[in-house]
Structure 1
Amino acid sequence: MQRIVWGRNTSSNVMKVLWGLGELGLAFERIDVGGAFGKTDTTQYRAMNPTGLVPTLQEGDFTLWESNVVLRYLGQTHASGTPLWPTEPRLRANIDRWMDAQHNVLGRPMTAVFWGLVRTPADKRDLKAMATAIGEAAHAWRMIDAMLDRHDHIAGADFTLCDIPWGVHAHRWFGMDYHGLTRPEMPALRAWYDRLSRRPAFQQYVAATPIV
């Protein structure tokens, strides 16, 4: 079965799916769409993904979008019953809620920080607004730091699917140029990020991609 990921590799949401596929050792082809590549407004793409966003996973005549949903699908089809995606309902629900929290709690302020510091030209940056956004993102990261004070990964001792969405954004959190602004130190969060950085799939699909 041919597996295709539609999306540019610099998208954080595309990175999640690529990293997940890498952890599972699954072969795939990636096609650049979105951002400077465009093509997400075509009839062909909208037939697969009516949102016009990336990524889209295509397996034969089956397509799926929304990055965290794609991760769950991959976990269910290729890792169900493993530490990555356990079958015990409460263990899985714990992973699920942290995946959703990445989107609902971290997503907005991290997007503001990224766009303000990376995508906005220097002469147009609003550093006061960026300082506010960094503070809001830090509030979300402190939740994760508290979990990581108790165990090595977000949901417990083992690496699970919920480490992937947060880990992609941790790479930006630690890797961006803050242009003189500061972010609070969180030792447990940093130690977790350093552990993630040793994972081959993270190195290939996240760390090797420029933050642009």
Structure 2
Amino acid sequence: MLRILGRASSINVRKVLWACAEFDIPFEREDWGSGFQPTNTPEFLALNPNAMIPVIQDGDFTLWESNTIIRYLATRHDQGAIYPTEAQARARIDQWIDWQASDLNRSWSYAFMSLVRHSPAHQDPQALAAGCAEWGRHMQILERQLAATGAYVAGSRFTLADIPIGLSVNRWFETPFEHPHLPAVRAYYERLSQRRAFCLHGRNGTP
């Protein structure tokens, strides 16, 4: 059985949990990370030298980095339904997964730390305003893409890219500040909410 190390409230752990629900993968999850078992111990560092969650163990195979993990699970269990094997179709999905990790994820950092985590080091009003604006700029990119597809981030059908992007949208709506009007993003959020796996792991817990 798949072993998942990481607290269920982590956005990155929730990617893995959502993928497991989509592919009907049985798993056992253990609480590691903030407030639970520490990740800076020799035991955990032997699994992930970055001291980050999630980590999975599939038999004797250990893997870290959440987007890599969901790609691995899809490759093993999906049979091409939401992560196709054809090169161009897969590349279109991968570009949005990578965009979430490298651009969108980075854009919300200050606002999230200020407004959700209430970090004392992230309470500068000008920096917060700039952070919210930058986050909004990236969400406008997503808005235009969803308006073009009329459905999901990589096209007309749900794909693996919608797992990290969907959780990012959850974080957007759950962070308390005045959001610009993004009707395609809102419709996408409600469309995802029709999926059982998203309801289990995408709209629950701490964003």
TM-score band, normalised by shorter chain:
over 0.9
Partner of 2:91: 93
| Equivalent pairs, count | 206
Partner of 1:157: 156
Partner of 2:117: 119
- 2:24 is aligned with what amino acid? G
TM norm structure 2? 0.94
Give the deviation of 1:165 after TM superposition: 0.6
TM norm structure 1? 0.92
* Structural RMSD (CA): 1.6
Partner of 2:108: 110
- The CA distance in 1 between the partners of 2:108 and 2:122, in whole Å, is 18
- The CA distance in 1 between the partners of 2:89 and 2:26, in whole Å, is 28
User: Matches of residues 1-212 of structure 1 in structure 2 within 5 Å?
Assistant: 2-82=1-81, 84-120=82-118, 125-151=123-149, 152-178=151-177, 182-211=178-207
Give the deviation of 1:127 after TM superposition: 3.3
CA 121–75 in structure 1, closer or farther in 2 if over 3 Å, else same? closer
Q: Deviations over 1:5-32 (max 9, x none)?
A: 1001111111111111111111111101
Q: Deviations over 1:39-93 (max 9, x none)?
A: 21122211111111000011121110000000110111011321x1011100000
SS of residue matched to 1:141: helix
- 2:158 is aligned with what amino acid? F
- The CA distance in 1 between the partners of 2:58 and 2:122, in whole Å, is 42
Runs of 4+ in 1 over 2 A off after TM superposition: 121-128
Q: Deviations over 1:138-169 (max 9, x none)?
A: 11111111111122000001111111111111
Identity between Structure 1 and Structure 2 (%): 40
**Structure 2 stretches lacking a partner, 5+ long:** none
- The CA distance in 2 between the partners of 1:10 and 1:165, in whole Å, is 14
- 2:33 is aligned with what amino acid? G
- 2:12 is aligned with what amino acid? N
- The CA distance in 2 between the partners of 1:203 and 1:112, in whole Å, is 27
Give the deviation of 1:206 after TM superposition: 2.3
SS of residue matched to 1:54: coil
- The CA distance in 2 between the partners of 1:209 and 1:78, in whole Å, is 26
Give the deviation of 1:121 after TM superposition: 5.8
Give the deviation of 1:183 after TM superposition: 2.1
**Structure 1 stretches lacking a partner, 5+ long:** none
- The CA distance in 2 between the partners of 1:120 and 1:16, in whole Å, is 24
Give the deviation of 1:124 after TM superposition: 7.0
